[in-house]
Amino acid sequence: MSNKCLIYLDQGVLPADKENYIYHLAILVPNRAVLGSILEKILKIWDSIEGYADHLVSEAIYLRDPDGIGVEIYSDRDRRAWIVNEKGFIAMYTLPLDIEDLILHGRRSGVEPRVTRDTVLGHIHLRGSSPEAAEKFYTEVLGMKIKGIWFGARFLAYEDYHHHLAVNNWPIPRPIDCSGLRSFALRRKGLLESVISKGVSREAVELVCGAPMGIRDPNGFLIEIME
């Protein structure tokens, strides 16, 4: 979301919040071959893979880090295969992932199992007490579009992506106390000027990505607005 930093790890203490916390961050790798290669490496060194999923638009691996924060590693399918309805919603679901085929694809490609320069933070999934308020804020203030509603969760994105952000209020595991998401950054042409023009209140806190402005969404998450 910001090309300043992909993930910034900070040692500190965050206030515990049992209602609003990060569900997972999602690392988007360039293609299926890289994903398969990374999966094979992970299986050799990490014994706590939480799950796998075929989401129609993407294939995903789910882990949980030592602080209890979910980490998704995924690759997108060809956008021409995505199904879009008349509302502009993009079809997503959770189906079993063909793990063996994914690993074989990685082996046959011969790619190295590593994070490459074109790896990005594809999306963030938050657990928030009010997905409805989040939808209003991210569409009206930050200019995203609603891309789907699934079991109450809101999936939002810029342009024609399936989602850059999701917010649910499901009863899901939370990070260990004092751990979690300090902030996340958004970089988009004209976004800073747009937010300022709407009179959104600034947060007087340290911004780890160096943004000129920080704001909070209705569920209390800190967003750094990059230039």
Q: Is the pLDDT of residue 136 over 70?
A: yes
- Assign 55 a pLDDT band (cuts: 50, 70, 90): very high
Residue pair 219/128 in contact by the 8 Å Cβ criterion: yes
What whole-number distance in Å separates Cα of residue 59 and Cα of residue 227? Answer: 32
- Assign 5 a pLDDT band (cuts: 50, 70, 90): low
Instruction: Write out the CATH class of domain 21-225.
Output: alpha beta
Three-class DSSP category at 121 = strand
Burial label for 41, CB within 10 Å (0-12, 13-18, 19+), is: middle
Domain boundaries, the chain: 21-225
Q: Is the pLDDT of residue 36 over 90?
A: yes
- Assign 48 a pLDDT band (cuts: 50, 70, 90): confident
What pTM, to 2 d.p., does this model score? 0.94
Residue whose structure tokens are 């809101």: 154
Cβ-Cβ contacts under 8 Å for 82 (sequence gap 6 or more): 56, 57, 90, 91, 162
